[in-house]
């Protein structure tokens, strides 16, 4: 077999190392690798497949995804790593149906009823695995169940940039097929390393209004959303403002609220002298390929789309994203934003014009929180009292159902972006670190145990304290533990053994091990309320003294 042609980036190798370590420690269960858009998940997949078959030649791997672009992209990267890979593609949209190889790259819609033909499969890899249903339903779950009946020892590996589903929380929340998240790299690290470019967000004068638009399954009903957003007035004001703010940017993408909306925006752009075209799910395959090729070649300046270019489309030189599609889905928001984060040939950033309010709603792409599960409310439903008859009414009613009193219109909320910072990485300062000290702490507010790390610079520098909520349950605890293990790997600490200890013993052990490790040479940070948030850590420079009082 040929040697690996493509060298993995450090964090890609780190992802595989952490994956193998997880399998060693967990003889059962299914992990998910969380890696930002643009981190090169297809390279991780290719390297894993090659390693698996070289070590165990009889291994059968099934690689699943939902769009043909990702199938082709993942298969191409497999060939880059291993020219002679025993690789077959099964996808109706690509026109190939090959099930005879050790590695099969397939579209879920094409393969979902082919479990008997596939036979014994050892490993399933699912790209964009946040699309897998939490419940025992849907194409992915039915195929997995059928293949597990053939091989009860089947393991599933997920990959995603967004490990949560609308209305369900984290993809590891039960009932789910994934048991753990492996998070080898952050957006901040990728930007610092030059693997991603930054986003910049700017306030827009127009905010698209979604009041009165109902939701189904936690998301806006598309027909109602498009009716509210796609108006002549809105479209005219959007295009005029985009022209005013875009400057000399050359590759624009508009995320629209529906097919008609996408066509209307494209028409208006052309009327204003901007070469534009539209891509939707109804666009013919050959027409779509021609439009996207022309866009990449610079023959088309702007593309409008409706639910098409969020995954599987890669054009690094996109330098303007226009958000016209309000969404309750944090995953969709991150996928849209990710289209602008590839390193560019002509600039160091991509401008985001957020008419839809998704940045303010979901926060910076570096710190998006999973949506609440169905049934997780904020307590009693919001109400108001009629001033005429004192009837208690739901907060949304405009007219009292008892006496007909018309409630006054609430004052309009002023819309602002989330600190004008879609990246969430505007630093207040940086610190050249000379040493760090780790301690077990107890939260004053919750009483829960956690770890603190104090970073020390020069004698005249104010120390920076970071808190890791490793003793918390749920998302906060899981995220803190992933951060801790990433820090341990970067600093040379060994945390093996803590899992067999009590919580108190384990936290003291973890702090002691981290105190022995090499601290970063430089951190950047910002003050978030009363607490510091560490944005980046660098181990590039040689460490200085480990004890400033020595």
For the chain, give every domain's residue range: 10-187, 197-367, 429-538
C-alpha to C-alpha distance for 172 and 22, rounded to whole angstroms: 15
The structure's pTM equals 0.73
* CA–CA distance, 176 with 416 (Å, rounded to integer): 36
Residue 139: CB atoms within 10 A of its CB come to 18
Residue 338 in contact with residue 38, Cβ under 8 Å? yes
Q: Which residues are within 8 A (CB) of 529 and not within 5 positions of it... i.e. 6 or more apart? A: none
End-to-end CA distance of the chain: 55
| Domains 10-187 and 197-367 agree in fold | yes
Asked if 280 and 259 count as a contact pair (C-beta separation under 8 A), the reply is: yes
Q: Rounded to the nearest 5 degrees, what angle is found at the Cα of 68, between the Cα atoms of 65 and 73?
A: 85
pLDDT at 423: 77
pLDDT at 243: 96
Assigned token pair, 460: 């005249």
DSSP string, 527-547: EETTEEEEEEEE--SPP--S-
The CA–CA distances, whole Å, from 9 to 5, 40, 96, 317 equal 13, 9, 31, 22
Paired tokens of 3 = 């040697």
- Cα pseudo-dihedral 261, 265, 268, 272, rounded to 10: 170
Q: Report the alpha-carbon distance of residue 350 to residue 182 in Å, rounded.
A: 28
Q: Tell me how far apart the alpha carbons of residues 144 and 467 are, in angstroms, rounded to a whole number.
A: 39
At the second CATH level, the architecture of 10-187 is: 3-Layer(aba) Sandwich (3.40)
Q: In this structure, are residues 238 and 322 in contact, taking their beta carbons and an 8 Å threshold?
A: yes
Q: Which CATH class is domain 197-367?
A: alpha beta
User: What pLDDT is attached to residue 100?
Assistant: 83
What is the reported pLDDT for 447?
A: 81
One pLDDT digit (tens) per residue for the chain, 550 residues: 444 456 889 889 999 999 998 999 899 999 999 999 889 999 999 999 999 999 998 999 999 998 888 888 889 889 989 888 999 999 988 888 888 899 999 999 999 999 999 999 999 999 988 888 877 778 999 999 999 999 999 999 999 998 887 777 788 888 888 998 998 888 888 887 889 999 988 778 999 999 999 999 889 999 999 999 999 999 999 999 999 999 999 999 999 999 999 999 999 999 999 999 999 988 998 899 999 999 999 999 999 999 888 877 889 999 999 999 999 998 899 999 999 999 999 998 999 999 999 988 888 888 786 665 555 544 344 556 666 655 555 666 677 666 677 777 765 443 334 445 687 766 678 899 999 999 998 887 778 899 999 999 887 888 999 999 888 877 678 888 888 988 998 899 999 888 888 888 999 999 999 999 999 999 988 887 778 888 888 887 543 433 322 2
């Amino acid at each position: 077999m040929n040697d690996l042609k493509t060298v993995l980036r450090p964090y890609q190798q780190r992802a595989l190392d952490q994956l193998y370590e997880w399998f060693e420690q967990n003889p059962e269960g299914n992990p998910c690798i969380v890696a930002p858009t643009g981190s090169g998940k297809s390279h991780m997949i290719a390297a894993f497949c090659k390693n698996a078959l070289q070590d165990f030649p009889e291994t059968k791997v099934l690689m699943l995804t939902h769009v043909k672009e990702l199938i082709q992209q993942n298969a191409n990267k497999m060939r880059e790593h291993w020219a002679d890979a025993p690789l077959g593609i099964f996808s109706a949209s690509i026109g190939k149906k090959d099930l005879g190889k050790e590695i099969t790259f397939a579209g879920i819609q094409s393969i979902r009823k082919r479990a008997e033909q596939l036979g014994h499969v050892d490993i399933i890899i699912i790209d964009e695995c946040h699309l897998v249903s939490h419940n025992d339903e849907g194409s992915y779950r039915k195929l997995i169940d059928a293949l597990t009946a053939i091989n009860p020892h089947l393991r599933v590996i997920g990959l995603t940039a967004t490990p949560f589903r609308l209305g369900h929380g984290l993809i590891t929340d039960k009932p789910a097929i994934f048991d753990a998240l492996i998070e080898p790299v952050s957006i901040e690290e990728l930007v610092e390393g030059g693997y991603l470019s930054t986003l910049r967000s700017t306030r827009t004068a127009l905010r698209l209004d979604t009041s009165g638009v109902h939701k189904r399954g936690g998301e806006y009903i598309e027909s109602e959303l498009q009716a509210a957003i796609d108006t002549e007035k809105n479209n005219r004001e959007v295009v005029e403002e985009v022209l005013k703010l875009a400057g000399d940017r050359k590759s624009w993408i508009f995320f629209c609220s529906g097919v008609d909306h996408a066509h209307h925006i494209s028409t208006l752009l052309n009327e204003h002298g901007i070469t534009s075209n539209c891509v939707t799910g109804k666009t013919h395959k050959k027409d779509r390929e021609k439009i996207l090729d022309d866009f990449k070649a610079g023959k088309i300046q702007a593309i409008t789309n409706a639910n098409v270019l969020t995954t599987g489309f890669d054009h690094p030189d996109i330098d303007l994203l226009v958000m016209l599609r309000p969404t309750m889905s944090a995953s969709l928001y991150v996928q849209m934003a990710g289209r602008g984060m590839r390193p560019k040939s002509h600039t160091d950033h991509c401008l985001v014009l957020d008419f839809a309010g998704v940045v303010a709603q979901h926060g910076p792409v570096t710190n998006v929180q999973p949506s609440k599960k169905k049934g997780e409310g904020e307590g009693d439903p919001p109400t108001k009292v009629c001033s005429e008859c004192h009837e208690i009414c739901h907060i949304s009613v405009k007219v009292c159902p008892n006496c007909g009193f018309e409630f006054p219109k609430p004052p309009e909320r002023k819309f602002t972006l989330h600190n004008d910072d879609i990246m969430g990485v505007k630093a207040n300062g940086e610190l050249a670190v000379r040493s760090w000290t780790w301690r077990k702490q107890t939260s004053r507010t919750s009483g829960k145990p956690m770890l603190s790390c104090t970073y020390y610079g020069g004698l005249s520098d104010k120390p920076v304290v970071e808190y890791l909520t490793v003793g918390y349950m749920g998302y906060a605890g899981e995220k803190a533990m992933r951060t801790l293990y990433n820090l341990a790997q970067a600093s040379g600490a060994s945390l093996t053994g803590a899992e067999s200890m009590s919580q108190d013993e384990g936290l003291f052990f973890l702090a002691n091990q981290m105190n022995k490790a090499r601290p970063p040479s430089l951190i950047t940070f910002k003050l978030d309320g009363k607490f510091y948030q560490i944005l980046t850590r660098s181990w590039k420079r040689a460490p200085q003294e480990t004890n400033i009082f020595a």
